[in-house]
Amino acid sequence: MRSVRIRRGWRQSDLARRCGVSQATISRIERGHFAGFSLATIRRVAVVIDVRVDVIARWRAGDLDRLLNAGHSSLHESIARTFRDLPDWVVAPEVSFAVYGERGVIDILAWHPGRRALLVIELKTDIADVNELVGTADRKRRLAVDAAVGRGWLRRGDPPPDVSVWIIVRGTRTNRRRVAAHVAMLRAAYPVDGRTMGDWLRNPRRAVSALSFWSDGPGGGTHSRPVRRVRRTCGALARR
């Protein structure tokens, strides 16, 4: 924050006046002395100089990333078991891509040769930013064909396949609340729910965009069960 202020040619008093705080407050914040300041105050100062302040949670009991990855793996395994009953699909987990400088990993990429249907599955154990979720899914949809070519499922020059996206969200209360808070936007972006996807997987006749919850069963994330849609927008894949 100090470096950005100096780059703008401002004194501490200039920044303090724009933020509505004292010069002593600016001085203490720039020296990392945050005790006694609310997060709102720190962000008020930061936004004036176009600095974003992120808060990162750390778990004292252990590695938070490992805990989140365990939830992701559990969700991944549950989806994989569903596809075992769908022999017409070829499924590949953790498909990486690098296309014109764009890099990333598709959680699950599925290919239905008979229908020439390509499905991008994005697994979310936690929804932090809905706009980022939609943007990431759209980018992976756009690059899915290149990823499929890399796996030998398609060849350059083949007729374009139907490319679908299915966002599967772990059915926690927090995730349901966040989806409900953005229900209008998500309904427009992903009009298909999980129950509809159960039928679509058996006969993928067109490209779809879907979002559904996937709830852990007694087996620790190895079973799916139907859940109510959030305002009739998002459901879970019905048990077969």
| pLDDT tens sequence across 117-160 | 999 999 998 887 888 889 989 999 999 999 999 999 999 888 99
Question: Is residue 35 domain-shared with residue 96, that is, in the same domain?
Answer: no
Range of the domain at 44: 2-48
Percent of the chain with pLDDT over 90: 49
In a domain, 225, yes or no: yes
pLDDT tier for residue 74 given thresholds of 50, 70 and 90: confident
Whether residues 163 and 139 fall in one domain: yes
Per-residue pLDDT at 17 exceeds 80: yes
Structural domain contains residue 32: yes
pLDDT of 169-183, one tens digit each?
Answer: 998 888 999 899 999
Q: How many CA atoms lie within 13 A of 204 on its CB side?
A: 25
The total number of structural domains that make up the chain: 2
Asked if 36 and 155 sit in the same domain, the reply is no
Maximum Cα–Cα distance across the chain: 69
Same structural domain, 218 and 110: yes
C-alpha to C-alpha distance for 166 and 202, rounded to whole angstroms = 15
d(CA 225, CA 198) in angstroms, rounded, equals 12
pLDDT (0 to 100) of residue 122: 93
User: In this structure, are 43 and 104 located in the same domain?
Assistant: no
Gyration radius (Cα) of the chain, Å: 23
| pLDDT score, position 129 | 82
What is the rounded average pLDDT for all residues in the chain? 83
Residues 177-208 have pLDDT tens digits of 989 999 999 999 999 998 899 999 999 999 99
Mark whether 43 and 72 lie in a shared domain.
no
Does residue 192 form part of some domain?
A: yes
CA dist., res. 126 & res. 64, Å (int): 13
The answer to whether residue 57 sits within a structural domain is no
| 58 part of a folded domain | no
Tell me which residue of 178, 204, 174, 175 sits closest to 192, measured CA to CA: 204
Q: Are residues 93 and 211 in the same domain?
A: yes
Span 151-171, pLDDT tens digits: 999 998 889 999 999 999 998
In a domain, 143, yes or no: yes
Clarify whether residues 43 and 68 are in a common domain.
no
pTM: 0.65
The CATH number of the domain where 90 resides is what? 3.40.1350
Kindly state whether residue 53 falls inside one of the protein's structural domains: no
Q: Is 84 domain-assigned? A: yes
